[in-house]
Amino acid sequence: MAKKPKGRKVDSISREKVDNIVHEIKTAQSQKVTPEEVLKRVSSCLEQEPALTIPLIEALSRIPNPETAQFLTGMMASIKEKWAIKSIKRTLYKLRQKGVRWEEKSPKDESILRPPKPAEPEGYLGAIDSTGSRIIVIARSRPARGLLVVFSIVNDLEGIQEFNLREFSKKGFDEFMKNSLSSEDFPIVTTPATYCIHLLREASSLSQRLSKPLPQGYHDAENEFKDITWDHPDPIIYQYIQEDEVKDRAYLLKESGTLHKLTPFSAWFLNEQEVQEYVSSIKEAQESRIVLTPDQKEARLNSIYREALEELFPEEKRLLWKRRLEEMAYVLLKTDKEKEARATMSAAIDLKNPFSPIDPNPFIWNLLLKSIYSLLESDHKEKEKEQQTPLIVTP
């Protein structure tokens, strides 16, 4: 009920509609339907045709009973339009004049017509890259205003990296998701919005711990979703795959080493600066003038790899990569890769413990090796390029 209906004249069609509503109210009262329930039914009709509001209020004086009075007082408590409130008061006065008596409610009493709850938001999560960054999208429909959309990129080491709060039409949002965000290598999957909001709050807490200011619009988004909480202590994947289903499954853990053939794991590499020290040690071992047997050389290289594994993955780092794998297991599951999701979970759970000296976590071991080999290959190509460059530049 936004604007006051123009004029007081009611055409025959509107009059017939009002008479039908009055008849339905009488029938509901005869069937002992509560005034609260009657009001809910009638309110939906008046929202579609506000012009019927005043004629209906006036027509209710033809049903002189306490239930009608309670219906009108409930309506008066749930609306703000002064013109409608005045009309209700006039009809209530007429009912009193006809001898109708009813229990008066205190203004502090809760309205029997509660405002509709906001629409449940939609959530979308992107795959994680090897730096720990991912996309989070949250969209909530608002009546007559399209979709309010939160787009963010968060990082598990840096907090919120990018943040935008925008309005979209439903069609515009669908096109945005399909054309701007969707990628075969880094898919985006539907996710309960409660979990997406939980992850966004995690990232904002990290930003604050790092003394980074929260981006413009974040507090507006927080206020929009203040009624939503994630009530589970663990990542969402545990709603689908229980730890006991994959823990101590040697075949699953072994298969986790082959996950690097799969996108987006194929694009995962360790930070070059962290790995460079060990790459340099390997190059020194390979270029050493000391004559070593193949077994001795292999033992030397393995000792460097093991040293890198222990130093690059202390407990804090193991748990960081554990969480990344848990989050990725959910993305794999949602993209119909359940077998790979279970292998990923097996590797994640194995990271709760220190590495085995004999057979370390296959996923992390292969992540380390491919990161080292990639840098070695890059250095080798750079060296070849330098050798091919002529020292004297001819005019």
One domain for residues 84 and 135? no
Q: Is 366 or 64 the better-scoring residue by pLDDT?
A: 366
So what's the pLDDT on residue 389? 57
Q: Which of residues 188, 204, 231 is at a domain's end?
A: 231
Rounded to 10°, the helix 66-78/35-48 angle is 50
pTM: 0.68
Same domain, 190 and 279: no
Q: Higher confidence at residue 111 or residue 70? A: 70
Question: Nearest 5°: phi and psi at 288?
Answer: -60, 140
Instruction: Locate 381 and state its tokens.
Output: 């190509």
Whether residues 326 and 356 fall in one domain: yes
Query: Which residues constitute the domain of residue 264?
Result: 243-387
pLDDT digits (tens, 9 = 90+) for 223-236: 989 888 898 889 99
79/147: higher pLDDT = 147
Q: Which pLDDT score, from 0 to 100, does residue 118 have? A: 67
| Residue 321 and residue 190 in one domain | no
Q: What is the mean pLDDT of residues 295-312?
A: 88
Query: What confidence score (pLDDT) does residue 42 get?
Result: 81
Quick check: 34 pLDDT over 60? yes
Using 50, 70 and 90 to split pLDDT, how confident is the model at 322? very high
The pLDDT assigned to 307 comes to 93
pLDDT average, residue stretch 58-85: 84
Asked if 69 and 155 sit in the same domain, the reply is no
pLDDT tens-place string over residues 335-382: 999 999 999 999 999 999 999 988 999 999 999 999 999 998 887 777
pLDDT given for residue 101 in this prediction:
83
Lowest mean pLDDT among 32-36, 150-154, 198-202, 333-337: 32-36
pLDDT at 109: 46
Same-domain pairing of 209 and 265: no
Instruction: Note whether 251 and 378 are same-domain residues.
Output: yes
Give the pLDDT band (50/70/90) at residue 70.
Answer: confident
pLDDT score of 390: 56
User: Considering 231, 256, 277, which residue would you say is the last residue of a domain?
Assistant: 231
**Average pLDDT, integer, range 14-24:** 84
Do 261 and 360 lie in one domain? The reply is yes
Tokens at 283, concatenated: 């190059």
Q: Is residue 305 part of a domain?
A: yes
Q: What is the mean pLDDT of residues 174-181?
A: 83
Which residue intervals of the chain are DSSP H helices? Answer: 12-30, 35-48, 53-59, 66-78, 82-97, 170-175, 193-209, 218-224, 243-246, 250-255, 272-287, 294-312, 315-334, 338-350, 362-388
Q: What confidence tier does 253 reach under pLDDT thresholds 50, 70, 90? A: very high
Angstrom distance (rounded) from CA 157 to CA 225: 24
For 205, the token pair is 């807490």
Residue 394 lies in a domain: no
Domains identified in the chain, total number:
3
Q: Are 61 and 139 found together in one domain? A: no
- Report if residue 116 sits inside a domain: no
Average pLDDT over every residue of 295-323: 91
Across 244-269, average pLDDT? 94
Q: How confident is the model at residue 110 (pLDDT cuts 50, 70, 90)?
A: very low
151 with 190, same domain: the answer is yes
Q: 82-96, 162-176, 250-264, 277-291: lowest mean pLDDT where?
A: 277-291
- Axis-axis angle for helices 338-350, 315-334 (nearest 10): 170
Mean pLDDT of all residues in 92-119: 67
Residue 238 lies in a domain: no
Residue 157 binned pLDDT confidence (cut-offs 50, 70, 90): very high
Q: What is the mean pLDDT of the chain?
A: 86
Is 2 within a domain? no
Residue 386: per-residue pLDDT: 67
Alpha-carbon span 395 to 391, nearest angstrom: 13
Answer whether residue 23 is part of any domain.
yes
Highest mean pLDDT: which range of 17-26, 143-152, 221-230, 357-366: 357-366
Percent of the chain with pLDDT over 90: 47
H/E element holding 140? Answer: strand 133-142
- The pLDDT value given to residue 371: 95
Q: Within a domain: residue 180?
A: yes
pLDDT of residue 5: 52
Given CA atoms 268, 271, 276, 282 in this order, what sign does their dihedral have? negative
Q: What is the largest CA-CA distance in the chain?
A: 115
- In sequence order, what are the residues at sequence separation of 6 or more whose Cβ sits closer than 8 angstroms to the Cβ of residue 214? 160, 204, 207, 208
Query: pLDDT over 70 for what percent of the chain?
Result: 89
Q: Do 329 and 304 lie in a common domain?
A: yes
- Do 93 and 186 lie in one domain? The reply is no
Q: At 234, which amino acid appears?
A: D
Among residues 63, 97, 131, the one where a domain terminates is 97
Q: Does 4 map to a domain? A: no
Alpha carbons 370 and 382: distance in angstroms, whole number: 18
